[in-house]
Amino acid sequence: MICAACGQPNSAGATFCEFCGTDLRPKQMPNGEPVVARTVPAQPTPPSVAEVAQMGKSLLSALTLGEKFVGAGAIAAVLGFFLPWISSPDLGELSGLFGQMGTSALNHVSLSGVDLAKVVGAVYFILLAAIASGVLFYFSRKAVPAQKLLIGGFQVMIGSLFGPGVIGALFFVPMIQSVSGAGFWLLGLGFCSIAAGGLITVATLAKTTR
């Protein structure tokens, strides 16, 4: 029996605490009913760093190769939207384009997707496409093979909308190469990774369903 006053253990059947002398006999209420001791539930402890790392490792090991490509690509594309697409002290030939749009972006040496979306609202569709890919990735983890095949096709379509075009511009358009920022590279690589992941998923499921 543990003494409620000093917290020391006592032998079974002890009526008084052997350490501090507190009365250990069960108390009774005025109506004769015994007082029931209330136990305080233990507070949940937050997981340790090692436990979090183990959970992350288990999650990654449960993903297929195609899902890993899609998940990484969706994260990269979303991050790339907020990082600089254009980063240059001199916009050069692009200054005429921004001048025609009547924007004050000419005063910027760094423009992200958010900045460009304020000029051309359609740019937000790029962010929505990356988020949609992430949502499809979440649902595909628990989907049946037929649903995964369909989702894989959508991932290929989403990734092909922007990935090849952005990467092609980065490699073959000197004007874009001279002012491109880290965000534009990350965006292109992210969407290409989404398309590649969708193709891997479709190819894998096509083999297993034969």
CA distances from 126 to 22, 78, 202 (A): 72, 9, 23
- Residue of higher predicted confidence among 104 and 135: 135
In a 3-state reduction of DSSP, which class is residue 86?
strand
> Does a structural domain hold residue 23?
no
Q: What was the pLDDT predicted at 100?
A: 43
Q: Give me the residues paired with residue 142 across strands.
A: none
> Does a structural domain hold residue 13?
no
pLDDT at 88 over 50: yes
Q: What was the pLDDT predicted at 104?
A: 45
CA distances from 2 to 10, 33, 108, 210 (A): 6, 22, 70, 67
> Does a structural domain hold residue 19?
no
Question: What percent of the chain clears pLDDT 70, i.e. is strictly above it?
Answer: 79
Residue type, 144: V
Quote the DSSP letter at residue 5: T
Q: For Cα atoms 153, 156, 159, give the angle at the middle one, nearest 5 degrees.
A: 150
Q: What is the mean pLDDT of residues 65-74?
A: 93
> Does a structural domain hold residue 156?
yes
Least confident range of 37-46, 77-86, 107-116, 195-204: 37-46
Cβ count within 10 A of residue 45:
6
> Does a structural domain hold residue 69?
yes
Confidence of residue 32 (pLDDT cuts 50, 70, 90): low
> Does a structural domain hold residue 187?
yes
Residues 187, 126 contacting (CB under 8 angstroms): yes
Residue type, 1: M
Q: What was the pLDDT predicted at 48?
A: 75
Q: What is the pLDDT of residues 117-138, one digit of tens each?
A: 888 889 999 999 999 999 999 9
Q: Give me the residues paired with residue 180 across strands.
A: 86
- Residue of higher predicted confidence among 82 and 5: 82
Residue 93 sits in which domain range? Answer: 64-208
C-alpha 60/C-alpha 69 separation (Å) is 11
Assigned token pair, 7: 């917290």
Largest Cα separation within the chain, whole Å, is: 93
Q: What is the pLDDT of residues 134-187, one digit of tens each?
A: 999 999 888 888 899 999 999 999 999 999 999 999 999 887 887 788 999 999
Q: What is the mean pLDDT of residues 101-130?
A: 77
> Does a structural domain hold residue 26?
no
> Does a structural domain hold residue 142?
yes
**Position of tokens 């496409």?**
129
**How many angstroms from the chain centroid is the CA of residue 23?**
57
Residues 36, 26 contacting (CB under 8 angstroms): no
Q: Does the pTM exceed 0.75? A: no
| Number of domains making up the chain | 1
